[in-house]
């Protein structure tokens, strides 16, 4: 009886919050990221000095400059793929059946994605790596001896590799593999924690950002390789007649996403490098730690919206927007459930922002 009552309560809780398998995987991956990063922060406090902490979070903020080169295109890819996939049947062996026009347009989305990100990755590497070296060299004299060069090179190169993988995962998510991509994020969250903790425990803490990205890249590469027949088939499919037009179909949507992403970077990540330059690495580390912990919790609410993006795209493709504007309005319901979960689970204040816990920013005892 107690077990049956508990199971009934779990099912009721699942119904109220609208949790399906894709949402469960996504929330689980983000909870694992939160727990893993909180443990990483504690290890960082133990094994990194305050100056090294500043380098750690400044390195992460500089790597986040990839959003300037991506310009929100991965989110647009997801929407376009979901719109075309609504008219097709995709088989596990890579076969695609259905409307020929939709098939051609889906192939053109992937082909345009590969072209865009290949060129952007070259530009990202050629600008990000020397810019980071210049920034750290300019601020090195007054901050003592910190061996930052190899950690920076590892993080920047791994960032470029992840930059190339993310749009492919967005494309697969738009093609209906929401649950599979969410499962990938769970595996990456576990791998990231293992790599970060290993770097910290081996007294190579500044290598942790690069190591976590290498782990994500390896796991993501295996995931993409297993779908090579489907992806290679689309890459070689003739799509010139019905190709998606970037200027007329993508740009009117993408520029709005790009502006929001750029604003998000300049309202969150930019403060850490600025503090590093003008106030030193110690205060930069304090700001970076606080912003990171707050960001862990705010990411949970997005699980209820991002996992439903392909579904919403299918509604628009098959029936127009009538279903989305109907009395049930699934997009509002998903947003409301995510907000409810966040408010119920995140009422506390992050410990590093509490005045009485400023000791979290202190380095290891000498």
Spatial separation of the C-alpha atoms in residues 271 and 291, rounded to whole Å: 10
Q: On the CB side of 204, how many CA atoms lie within 13 Å of its CA?
A: 16
Q: What is the pLDDT of residues 129-172, one digit of tens each?
A: 999 999 998 887 665 678 899 999 999 999 999 999 999 999 99
pLDDT for residue 132:
93
The lowest-confidence range among 66-75, 81-90, 102-111, 328-337 is 328-337
**Residue 363: band (very low, low, confident or very high) from pLDDT cuts 50, 70, 90:** very low
Q: For 11-37, what is the mean pLDDT?
A: 64
The burial of 247, by beta-carbon neighbours within 10 Å (0-12 exposed, 13-18 middle, 19 or more buried), is given as: exposed
pLDDT at 223 over 90: yes
Higher model confidence: residue 280 or residue 122?
122
Domain spans, the chain: 28-361
pLDDT at 258 over 60: yes
pLDDT for residue 346:
45
Spatial separation of the C-alpha atoms in residues 334 and 18, rounded to whole Å: 7
Spatial separation of the C-alpha atoms in residues 287 and 54, rounded to whole Å: 9
């Amino acid at each position: 009886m107690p077990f049956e009552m508990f199971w009934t309560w779990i099912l009721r809780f699942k119904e109220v919050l609208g949790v399906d398998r894709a949402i469960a995987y996504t929330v689980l991956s983000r909870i694992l990221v939160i727990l893993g990063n909180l443990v990483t922060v504690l290890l960082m406090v133990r094994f990194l000095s305050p100056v090294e902490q500043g380098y750690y979070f400044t390195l992460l903020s500089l790597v986040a400059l990839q959003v300037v080169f991506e310009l929100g295109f991965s989110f647009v890819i997801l929407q376009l793929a979901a719109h075309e996939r609504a008219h097709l049947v995709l088989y596990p062996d890579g076969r695609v059946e259905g409307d020929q026009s939709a098939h051609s347009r889906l192939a053109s989305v992937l082909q345009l994605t590969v072209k865009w990100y290949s060129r952007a990755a070259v530009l990202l590497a050629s600008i990000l790596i020397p810019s980071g070296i210049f920034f750290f060299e300019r601020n090195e004299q007054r901050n003592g001896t910190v061996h930052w060069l190899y950690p920076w090179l590892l993080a920047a190169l791994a960032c470029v590799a992840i930059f190339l993988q993310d749009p492919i995962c967005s494309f697969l998510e738009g093609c209906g593999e929401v649950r599979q991509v969410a499962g990938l994020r769970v595996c990456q969250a576990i791998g990231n924690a293992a790599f970060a903790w290993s770097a910290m425990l081996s007294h190579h803490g500044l290598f942790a950002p690069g190591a976590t990205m290498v782990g994500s890249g390896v796991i993501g590469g295996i995931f993409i390789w297993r779908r090579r027949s489907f992806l290679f088939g689309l890459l070689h499919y003739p799509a010139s007649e019905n190709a998606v037009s970037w200027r007329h179909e993508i740009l009117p949507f993408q520029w709005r996403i790009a502006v929001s992403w750029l604003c998000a970077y300049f309202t969150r990540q930019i403060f850490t490098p600025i503090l590093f330059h003008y106030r030193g690495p110690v205060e930069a580390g304090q700001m970076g730690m606080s912003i990171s912990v707050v960001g862990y919790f705010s990411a949970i609410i997005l699980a209820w919206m991002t996992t439903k993006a392909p579904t919403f795209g299918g509604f628009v493709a098959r029936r127009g927007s009538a279903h989305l504007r109907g009395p049930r309005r699934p997009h509002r319901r998903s947003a409301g459930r995510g907000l409810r979960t966040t408010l119920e689970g995140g009422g506390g204040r992050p410990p590093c922002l509490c005045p009485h816990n400023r000791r979290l920013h202190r380095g290891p005892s000498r």
